Chains A and B, each alone.
Chain A
Amino acid sequence: MLKKARITVAFLISTQLVGCVNLGVQPWERDLLAKEEMALDSEGNDLGLDDHIYFSKEATSGGRAFAGGGCGCN
Chain B
Amino acid sequence: MKKKLNISAALASATCALLHPYASANEMLEGWKIDTSLMYYGETDRVSAVEAVIAGQKDFGEEQLLSGKIVIDTLTGASATGAVAQLTAQTVSRPSGEGTYTVSPGETPLDDTFKDTRVQLDGQWTQPWSDVSRITTGLHLSTEHDYYSLGFNGSYAHDFYNKNTTLSAGLAYSYDVIKPEGGLPVPFATKTASINTSEDYDDNEDDESEDDDDDNDNYDNDERLGSSDNKSTVDVLFGLTQVMNRRMLMQFNLGFSEISGYSTDPYKVLSIVNEQGLTQSLVYENRPDSRTKTFAFWQTKYALDFGVVDFSYRFATDDWKVDSHTFDSRLRINLTDSSYLQPHFRYYNQSAAEFFHPFLMEGQVLPEFATADYRLGEMSAYTFGLKYGTKMDNGDELSFRLEYYQQSPKNAGFTEPGTLQDVDLYPSVKAVIAQVNYRF
Contact = CB atoms under 8 A, between A and B. Distances in A.
Interface of A: 3-4, 7-8, 10-11, 14-15, 18, 23-27, 29-33, 35, 37-38, 40, 43-46, 48-49, 52-54, 57-60, 62-72, 74
B254 A59 contact: no
B316 A60 contact: yes
Contacts of A64: 253, 297, 299, 312
Interface residues of B, number: 95
Contact of A60 (B151, B244, B295): B295
Given A40-B241, A57-B375, A60-B326, A8 B235 contact: no
Interface in B45-85: 51, 53, 55, 69, 71, 73
23 contacts: A7-B294, A23-B165, A23-B243, A23-B245, A25-B164, A30-B246, A33-B246, A37-B308, A38-B303, A43-B330, A48-B69, A49-B37, A49-B435, A60-B316, A60-B326, A60-B348, A62-B255, A62-B257, A63-B253, A66-B237, A67-B237, A70-B233, A71-B118
A28 to B, nearest CB: 10
B375 A33 contact: no
Contacts of B240: 11, 14-15, 18
Nearest to B316: A60
B405 A45 contact: no
From B170, B174, B246, B315, residue with most partner A Cβ within 10 Å? B246
B162 A26 contact: yes
B170 to A, nearest CB: 7
B172 interface: yes
Interface string B142-186: 101011011101000000111011010010101010100000000
Return the 10 tightest CB-CB contacts between A and B, nearest first: A72-B147, A70-B149, A24-B164, A68-B233, A45-B37, A32-B303, A63-B297, A66-B235, A60-B324, A68-B174
